Amino acid sequence: MVARMTNVLVIKANPKPTSESRSLTVLEHFLSAYLKRHPADTVVVRDLYDERFPDFDRVLVTAQRALTAGKAFDDLAVDQQARLTVFRQATQQFIDADKVIIANPLWNLMIPGKLKAWFDTICVEGQTFETVAVGERPLAPGKHVLHIQAAGGVTNGQNLASRYVKDVMTFLGAQVTSLPVEGMDRYPDRAETIVTDAFKTAEAIAKTF
């Protein structure tokens, strides 16, 4: 029997180029180390700021309500069809992934808006979780998630963004590993060392992820 290849989904949520982004720099270092150990894995990279990723707005809500009411997909407005198609593709992409890697900056104590929009696509009742008598149950459990987040200050992981990512992924039945990259702006004289230490941590995580 041929072993099924592992599907790795990489979510980039930073509008800066990699050369100017600590989260993306650490992400690239991790991927390099990871792929040396898992060269046969299928890796799909989604850059949320390199596409017109839809917000969960009135257009999407209206479209979903119309479908629920019995309207055919082909009868929706062109804009609604386009947004729903991207939304559904993102949902299925997450379902198909065995491992998920997310890289983002800490912005105003929270994740970037585009990343929140992506999370809205993966929390879909009936596809990624269901409601049962005792609460909610994940429908695509067992994923391994690595969350790389950069912050100029120091939060020691105690920030809304990190907690949000961990809480949502745990809700969906995933195991979460966090890799914070913090303090470069507070301690500019140590910025290079902080990033280098994050590289070492990334290499260590790559051995078991």
By the 8 A CB rule, do 44 and 100 touch? no
Binding-site residues for FMN: 21-23
Of the chain, the percentage scoring pLDDT greater than 70 comes to 98
Summarised one tens digit per residue, pLDDT across range 66-79 is: 999 999 999 999 99
Chain centroid to CA 147: 8
CATH of 7-206, one of 3.40.50.300, 3.90.1150.10, 3.40.1440.60, 3.40.50.360: 3.40.50.360
Does the pLDDT of residue 9 top 80, yes or no?
yes
Assess whether pLDDT exceeds 60 at residue 2: no
**Which residues, including other chains, have CB under 8 Å from residue 6's CB and lie 6 or more apart?**
38, 40, 41, 42, 98, 99
As a whole number of angstroms, the distance between CA 209 and CA 203 comes to 10
135-139, 157-161, 173-177, 189-193: which has the minimum mean pLDDT?
A: 157-161
Extents of the domains making up the chain: 7-206
Quote the pLDDT of residue 157: 74
- Structure confidence by residue, pLDDT tens digits, 13-67: 999 999 999 999 999 999 999 999 999 999 999 999 999 888 889 999 999 999 9
Instruction: Point out the annotated binding site.
Output: 21-23
pTM assigned to the model = 0.94
